[in-house]
Amino acid sequence: MNELRKIRAKSGTNQEGTSAHNRRVLIEAIRLNGPLSRADLARATRLTKQTVSNLIESLEADGLVASQAVVRGARGQPSTPYGLVPEGAFALGVQIDRELARVVAVDLLGRESARAVANLPPGDPAGGSRVILDLVDTVRGELAARIPASVHRLTGLGVAMPGPFGLEPPDDDRWMMGKWQTFPLLETLAAGTGLETSLQNDASACATAERMGGVADGLDHVVCLYLGYGIGAGLILGGELYSGSNRNAGELGMVLFSRGGSVQPLEHRASLASLFQSLGLDSATTDAYDAVERLAAQDDPRIRAWLAGAAADFRQAVHMVETLFDPQTVILTGSAPQPLALRLFEAIFPLLPSNAERPGRALPRLQLGTMDPWAVALGAAAEPIRRTFDPLFAAILKEAS
């Protein structure tokens, strides 16, 4: 291996009682950089060679890493690189978006392995949960048929849906899923699947997806602006996803914005729901997304009018999150149709002056991330993988205790 190769990795610790953290450090280093030798891993993570050897043997025994072909360099001894085994772990993700549910399975690298989608009965979380459990069974069956070992390697079930959580909005509030807010969703899905189940908002799920294999991969300070039916912000702060005290951090869509003398929450005027409303489209079907994609490609004047206002609001939102969080970059991501997302991204420029406008920047202030109807579901599925294998500070505390 090239001794001068720059390897992205977090530091491990050689103190006793921290093996869980060190396992996560090695897994992340290999995920970020590709196959690495034991010497590369020891040098990048600052762990002793013996510690790395012991951990690699443990990870290999668990089916999470595997040795690859020996590399012979120009100098020194031949080295054996170790890569992640994609089938070493799997997770399931569920997106609940008012009248629609998507379920997806991903492997250890966050890559999709199976998917299913169905409509949900409006305003009926009990019936909707049964639909979701059927979708989960379908995806698990497809995954098990292709990869039998996957049934023993499911790390959990991640759920993503619009927030904010813990409130009791009116049932007729089209911006918030009132009945779903008070329904014992996690308990129902955990009991029905037998899997550890977690919940995050859709913006955080998109940030998780970007972190696993998108624009945010390898970055520690990122704000992902989510554009979907609503609007939110996924916060990656200090290398970890920040969710707040009630899992409601990043509810940017609820922030009041002023435009033309009118003060409204951002998502009431710059979200896909606001565009559907202005176009007279029924948001309860996927036909609305198809119609927006077609109209955006045709440069419909109603799309142009919406874009002008939405771009001004998102320009202000970028300025706001740059000032508050000092990120390395801001990423526009979500479930919007690609033609619309590209036009919105371009229309946001030029950005407003902010603390982020400084010489020597390594990354653009604003980047376009993943725009895909399945982005939220993929991020939801990536959450159990992240929780199990990312080198979180909480893992050190848990192991030490």
pTM of the entire predicted model:
0.86
Distance CA 231, CA 255 (A): 10
Residue 17 has pLDDT above 50, yes or no: no
* Domain residue extents for the chain: 19-84, 88-206+378-389, 207-373
Q: For 154-194, what is each residue's pLDDT tens digit? A: 999 999 998 888 777 665 566 677 788 889 999 999 999 99
pLDDT tens digits, residue range 196-237?
A: 999 999 999 999 999 888 999 889 999 999 999 899 999 999
Query: Tokens 């390898």 belong to which residue?
Result: 218
Spelled out in words, what is the top-level CATH class assigned to the domain 207-373? Answer: alpha beta
pLDDT bucket at 399, cuts 50 / 70 / 90: very low
Query: Is CATH 3.30.420.40 correct for 88-206+378-389?
Result: yes
Least confident stretch, 73-87, 151-165, 209-223, 351-365: 73-87
Q: Give the model's pLDDT for residue 99.
A: 82
The rounded Cα 54 to chain-centroid distance in angstroms is 31
Q: Does residue 400 carry a pLDDT above 80?
A: no
pLDDT in the model for residue 75: 64
Instruction: Judge whether 19-84 and 88-206+378-389 match in fold.
Output: no
Q: What are phi and psi of 270, to 5 degrees?
A: -130, 10
CA 256 to chain CA centroid, Å, is 25
Q: CATH topology for 19-84?
A: Arc Repressor Mutant, subunit A (1.10.10)
State the DSSP string of 132-197.
Answer: HHHHHHHHHHHHHHH-GGGGG-EEEEEEEE----S----TT-TTS-HHHHHS-HHHHHHHHH-S-E
Across the range 74-94, mean pLDDT stands at 88
Give dist(CA 157, CA 389) in Å, integer. 15
Residue percentage of the chain with pLDDT more than 70: 90
Whether pLDDT at 397 is above 50: no
Bridge partner list, 237? 240
Residue 74 has pLDDT above 70, yes or no: no
- Is the model more confident about 7 or about 37? 37
Place of tokens 């409006």: 122
Instruction: Return the higher-pLDDT residue of 285 and 225.
Output: 225
Report which secondary-structure segment, H or E, holds 256.
Answer: strand 256-259
